[in-house]
Amino acid sequence: MRSGTSPLPSRRPRAPRRAAAVLITLLLSLTALAPAAQAAPEPAPDAAPAAAAPVKLGYFTNWAGYGRNHHLKDLITSGTAAKLTHINYAFGNVTGGRCAIGDAYADHDRAYTAEQSVDGRADTWDQPLRGNFNQLRKLKERYPHLKVLWSFGGWTWSGGFTEAAADPEGFARSCRDLVEDPRWADVFDGIDLDWEYPNACGLRCDSSGPQAFATMMRAMRGAFGNDLVTAAITADASDGGKLDATDYGAAAQYTDWYNVMTYDFFGAWDADGPTAPHSPLTSYEGIPAAGFNADAAVRKLTEQGIPAEKLLLGIGFYGRGWAGVTSGEPGSAATGPAPATYESGIEDYKVLKTACPVTGIVAGTAYAHCGDQWWSYDTPDTIAGKMAYAKERGLGGAFFWETSGDTADGELIAAIDRGLQ
């Protein structure tokens, strides 16, 4: 048969008229029933696509197993692992313009006892991988939904990013080679960069220029392909502040999301005060610095063209506090940082909830006045409000610093989980 022609009709005898009538009646009946059998109508062209599952990410630190005696197994007993979608393992070092191991003993050498181990089995002297990396592997086997990123930098190790910015492709290759080392390649699903701060000052100052960060993230995306590539970024939305110093909008196309560090706005590094909540959701009358709040950061980042779903709201599982305070309201003078377990001026939520209970709420977060001390921290109730904000603004989810600060039964991660449902 030639293309475009129809076959000739078959030379078959006609059906009897009665049979033809029956056939016509049957066809009409089927036609009448047809609408009920049809597939459901297509959604309207302007119907919104189904929302992606929110990210619920927690940092786990490689030093937690020392003085804090906090291990990955604790994420199981507290219920945290079942509620998280992602873990950022902190930190790898950035030195000499390259990614490097942060703590070899904690990362891949420490032998875990059966009591400390995720699966209840002790490490042996001759197994090829031990330490936190092996515990992360076991955790992922038990919770296959979990994704793990290796986070590099942080406050202490961000000085190396300046040298890395001079050779972003070489830096990215070094990170990929380390993250994908055959000994632990199955442990990690991507990389997170915590540069504090590009083209601005943290512990050290950087002057690589406003496009250095975007160039670095482009190199990271090229090296890591379809693996996760994320970054923790400043929330300083003041005029001429850290968010204005770097083109985070240009870099966003290369990242899966940003962890916006919407905490540590205020603290006892200003020893004489005034007291102020370290993680305000919004501004308030008397706030010590304009633009130092989560809402201002989110608005500035979205105004720079970054999709809201690429922003995660940051929650601190700790409080910051002053001593020498006479007033219970925010804005009081002080004489220095409040005493604490590990470092003056900063304390875990699990300690503060009973040691210095909440006495008030300001700008969406809690504060507490006990004796001559003043602390601010988030609680399950204030986290509920912040998660409602994240959903209202269409954010991609939330993250927190860090797992050891929560209670043994995971009060704070449970609040994040409920709030993002």
Give the active site residues: 196
C-beta neighbour count of 39 within 10 angstroms: 5
CA-CA distance, 243 to 154, in Å (whole number)?
17
CA distances for 87 relative to 34, 80, 126, 166, 184, angstroms: 51, 11, 28, 29, 16
Listed in sequence order, the DSSP H helices in 71-211 are 74-77, 80-83, 104, 131-142, 161-165, 168-179
- Contact present, 65 and 132 (Cβ < 8 Å): yes
Q: Does residue 95 sit in helix, strand or coil?
A: strand
In the numeric block, which tokens belong to residue 257? 């999301």
Backbone angles phi, psi at 101, to 5 degrees: -60, 140
CA distances for 31 relative to 18, 28, 35, 39, angstroms: 20, 5, 8, 15
Amino acid, res. 407: T
